[in-house]
Chain A
Amino acid sequence: MSAFKKLYKIVAQIAILTAVSWFGTYLTGRFGWPVPGNIVGMLFMVLLLQTRVIRLEWVETGGSWLLGNMLLFFVPAAVGIIQYQQLMVTSGGRILLVIVLSTVAVMVCTGVVVDRLARVRERGGSGNA
């Protein structure tokens, strides 16, 4: 019974989050904003939580379930690679090389700069104290 109750709670909370996501999609379509509707929905949701229109406990269980199973929702798109078998045979190695180089570049760049900035700001903060 309690497992059923939890399932019911998760489904109901996902329905709330879906409604907000649809509202975001409706807004971007209605006004032609060049932003994905989901992101607008997310920002709107922060506002709804901040103003207590929606309480945290109304969406928290369903939200953690969605975030915890995020990988599952990417799977159908990833299976789409099946349409590009020829491309993967001819260019797969080069594509992987680009992705490895670029990902390491992004991590080195952001990691080093933010680390320096954080240390300077922390030192500045303790100096003032």
Chain B
Amino acid sequence: MLNIGTVGLSAMGLVLTVAVFVAAKRIYTRVPLLFLSPLLVVPAALVLILSTTGVTYGEYLVGAKWISHLLGPATVAFAIPIYKNLPLLRKYALEIGLSAVLGSATALLSSVLPALWLHLSPETATSLAPRSVTTPVAMDISRSIGGVPTMTAVFVIVTALVGVMAGPAVIRWLQIRTPVARGALFGTGAHAAGTARAFEFGDVEGTVASLSMIAAAGATLVLTPVLWPLIGG
């Protein structure tokens, strides 16, 4: 491939990612079909572009890593909805806490055990373990139990897609009527993307989902080191 130099390389990953993201968001606003979700389309388009142009992932990351760095302040920004909804957090603390503990344990066991039964590699099974919580936390846990953080990041995103599709179906089939339960299942099961979907049901659903997502991240951080030795990690 042609030599674009260091400055060009730094700009390339950054500009390419933002451009594809903006384009995908515009398309999804006009045609809101599930398989056109930017969560699916943007990484797929970038993978296609990188593999056809012969740019390696390392070269792409030179510029694109600046985008990932915004996850830090974005995680801190979750303090804003929490602060605004402290009364709701107090009211539903028991529901949110129970959901987080139960959901984290279920996620861990129902990811790792079937993965081993299906003869997936131990590395894959370990990287699947923290897949139900928000990316920065999931990647940290993955690293601490010997998984591959970048593989975990991919599984977290697939979880988001699956959860956004499965959530409304679960609510319908099991006739989950209380807003707090609807919010809890979205936030615990499908982190940030689930939270965004829960806000489409209502404000209580969305707020409970954002709090559940954070509680689930905390519960998974605490439970993983405890449960991990029990399932043969």
Contact = CB atoms under 8 A, between A and B. Distances in A.
Of A81, A100, A122, most buried by chain B (CB within 10 Å of CB) is A81
Given A24-B76, A96-B158, A110-B102, 11 more contacts: A34-B225, A50-B86, A75-B21, A76-B64, A95-B158, A98-B111, A98-B120, A105-B106, A106-B106, A113-B102, A118-B180
A83 interface: yes
22 contacts: A17-B77, A38-B75, A41-B72, A41-B76, A73-B74, A75-B43, A76-B60, A77-B154, A78-B153, A79-B57, A79-B64, A91-B121, A96-B158, A99-B111, A103-B159, A106-B132, A106-B189, A107-B189, A112-B176, A113-B98, A114-B184, A115-B178
A39 B77 CA distance: 10
Contacts of A96: 158
A95 B124 contact: yes
B76 A42 contact: yes
A104 interface: yes
Interface of A: 14, 17-18, 20-22, 24-25, 34-39, 41-43, 45-46, 48-50, 56, 59-60, 62-64, 66-67, 70-84, 87, 91, 94-115, 117-119, 121-122
Contacts, number: 287
Contacts of A94: 115, 118-120
Nearest to B149: A77
Decide if the interface of chain A is mainly helix, strand, loop or mixed: helix
A66 B67 CA distance: 11
B151 interface: yes
A49 B90 CA distance: 17
A78 B154 contact: yes
A17 B76 contact: yes
Interface of B: 13, 17-18, 21, 38-39, 42-43, 46-47, 50-51, 57, 60-61, 64-65, 67-68, 70-84, 86, 92, 94-95, 98-99, 102-103, 106-107, 110-111, 114-115, 118-121, 124, 128, 131-132, 135-137, 139-140, 144, 150-151, 153-159, 162-163, 166-167, 170-171, 174, 176-178, 180-182, 184-186, 188-190, 192-193, 212, 214, 217-218, 221, 225
A70 B192 contact: yes
By secondary structure, the B interface counts as: helix
A101 B80 CA distance: 33
A114 B190 CA distance: 16
B160 to A, nearest CB: 8
A33 to B, nearest CB: 10
A41 B76 CA distance: 6
Given A101-B110, A115-B176, A107 B185 contact: yes
A38 B72 contact: yes
A98 B78 contact: no
Contacts of B73: 14, 17-18, 20-21, 62, 66
